[in-house]
């Protein structure tokens, strides 16, 4: 699986959009970009994933660049409860074994 | 409601004791995983299972063992607990067809 690079920490004001970047320059054509978050040592929570098209769900939007070498997770209106560590992971989705390798992620702090 | 359950949530136990951490899921997922995470550190995969009667060691060496006799149940056992086993243990499951992992809330183990 390709390696990802994320900033170690970011700050965001409550109510503003949080834009979390991720670099994955060695991504392969069949690898998806997944985002998870972990709130205060709870179990990680799946947020969203995509291959090459932008994706949106009730939690967030995922913007993937045309060359697929980077992506951005967008939380449109961050709340205090969005304070968490956010992990960007790339992997092949439909393999016989789907091992997730977590890096250090980005620690997002949402402040009032 | 389909979910994944881990018990106990917290466990403090003496050195040398045998312990079993329970993990059960009601989603019918065939893949299950155990991750270990020290406070503020990365998650490391220690065990995984493709399905019933399948168990494999993960990326991080662990003295624990697992079993998968039933699809929904993936317990982790430490035959003789030591202080070095103090950590958080997170169980997860996923479906063969792709998509995200679902994590349990974790068991925070302290060996004194």
Per-residue model confidence as pLDDT tens digits over B13-72: 999 999 999 999 999 999 999 999 998 888 999 999 999 999 999 888 889 999 999 999
Determine the Cα–Cα distance for residues A67 and A57; give it in Å rounded to an integer. Answer: 23
Distance from CA of B98 to the nearest CA of A (A): 5
Which pLDDT does position B61 carry in this prediction? 84
> Is B37 within 8 Å of chain A by CB?
yes
Q: Which residue in the set B45, B99, B103 is minimally distant from A99, CB to CB?
A: B45
Q: Which residue bears the tokens 């060496």?
A: B61
Closest CA in chain A for residue B90: A43
Q: Which residue bears the tokens 């149940």?
A: B73
Residues of A in contact with B31 (CB under 8 A): 97-98
Phi, then psi, of B40 in degrees rounded to 5:
75, 10
Residue-wise pLDDT tens digits, B77-89 = 999 999 999 999 9
Residue-wise pLDDT tens digits, A44-69 = 999 999 999 899 999 999 999 999 99
**Mean pLDDT within A17-46:** 92
CA dihedral angle for residue B72, residue B76, residue B77, residue B81, rounded to 10 degrees: -150
Distance from CA of A14 to the nearest CA of B (A): 24
Closest CA in chain B for residue A87: B42
Residues of B in contact with A49 (CB under 8 A): 99-100
> Is B78 within 8 Å of chain A by CB?
no
Does residue A12 have a pLDDT over 90?
yes
Cβ <8 Å between A43 and B103: yes
- Percent of chain A past pLDDT 90, that is, above it, reads 74
Cβ <8 Å between A98 and B50: no
Q: Phi/psi zone of residue A76: left (φ > 0), alpha (ψ -120 to 50 degrees), beta?
A: alpha
Query: What does B79-111 look like in DSSP terms, one character per residue?
Result: SS--GGG-EEEEEEEE-TT----EE---EEEEE
**Mean pLDDT within B73-79:** 97
């Amino acid at each position: 699986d390709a390696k990802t690079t994320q900033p170690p920490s970011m700050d965001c004001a409550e109510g503003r959009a949080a834009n979390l970047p991720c670099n994955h320059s060695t991504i392969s054509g069949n690898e998806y970009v997944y985002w998870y978050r972990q709130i205060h040592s709870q179990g990680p929570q799946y947020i969203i994933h995509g291959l090459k098209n932008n994706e949106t769900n009730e939690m967030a939007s995922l913007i993937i660049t045309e060359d697929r070498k980077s992506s951005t997770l967008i939380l449109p209106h961050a709340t205090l409860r969005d304070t968490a560590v956010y992990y960007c992971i790339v992997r092949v989705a439909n393999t016989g074994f789907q091992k997730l390798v977590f890096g250090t992620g980005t620690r997002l702090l949402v402040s009032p | 409601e389909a979910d994944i359950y881990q018990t106990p949530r917290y466990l403090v136990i003496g050195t040398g004791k045998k312990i079993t951490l329970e993990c059960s899921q009601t989603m019918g997922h065939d893949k299950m995983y155990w991750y270990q995470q020290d406070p503020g550190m990365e998650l490391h995969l220690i065990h995984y299972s493709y399905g019933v009667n399948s168990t494999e060691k993960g990326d991080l060496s662990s003295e624990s063992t697992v079993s998968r006799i039933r699809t929904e149940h993936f317990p982790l056992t430490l035959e003789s607990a030591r202080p070095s086993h103090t950590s958080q243990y997170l169980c997860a499951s996923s479906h063969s067809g792709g998509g995200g992992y679902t994590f349990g809330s974790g068991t925070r183990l302290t060996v004194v």
